[in-house]
């Protein structure tokens, strides 16, 4: 029988991680195979598929060296995993799914850096930098994490005020 600990923490984290990591790697393979040397306008003037090699970090900026990017990824991963396994730390399942999505995105891009020396980006809106599924996973994961922390804090404050 699956305990509530597994159901609330581990299953959402693993599902978010493996689903997103697999989708990221498959779409990057597709982009490298089918977008090499060409662009595909999906919504002309608004959004296109175009292969780009991103040697920088977030949004193609060179904020950190590859070694520092790796160390930061490891550190953030350890913090999230410690929180997940900390017995008294309790959040909703969507928090842990967000952790899984965030970790999948961070490690999906790290895998690219290890394999190629750059990150494969291919989703290009006209108003933003080119990105990939891993980047989307990081953003959605962080939104889920922050929303859960904010909602948990709001509920805690209401409970404290009612008990006074």
Active site residues: 121, 135
Radius of gyration of the chain (CA): 18
Distance CA 130, CA 5 (A): 38
d(CA 7, CA 118): 36
What residues contact residue 69 under an 8 Å CB cut-off, 6+ apart? 57, 110, 113
User: How many other C-beta atoms are found inside a 10 Å radius of the C-beta of residue 50?
Assistant: 15
77/106 Cα distance (integer angstroms): 9
Half-sphere CA count of 120, side-chain side, radius 13 A = 23
Question: What's the residue count for the chain?
Answer: 164
């Amino acid at each position: 029988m699956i305990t509530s600990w597994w159901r609330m923490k581990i299953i959402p984290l693993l599902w978010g991680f493996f689903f997103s990591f697999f989708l990221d790697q498959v779409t990057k393979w597709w982009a490298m195979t089918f977008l090499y040397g060409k662009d595909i306008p999906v919504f002309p003037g608004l959004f296109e598929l175009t292969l780009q090699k991103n040697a920088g970090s977030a949004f193609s900026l060179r904020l950190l060296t590859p070694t520092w990017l790796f160390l930061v990824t490891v550190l953030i991963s350890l913090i999230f995993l410690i929180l997940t396994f900390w017995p008294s730390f309790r959040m909703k399942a969507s928090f842990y799914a967000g952790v899984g999505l965030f970790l999948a995105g961070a490690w999906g891009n790290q895998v690219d850096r290890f394999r190629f020396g750059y990150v494969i980006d291919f989703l290009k809106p006209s108003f933003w930098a080119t990105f990939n599924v891993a980047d989307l996973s990081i953003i959605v994961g962080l939104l889920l994490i922050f929303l859960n922390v904010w909602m948990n804090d709001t509920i805690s404050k209401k409970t404290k005020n009612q008990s006074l």
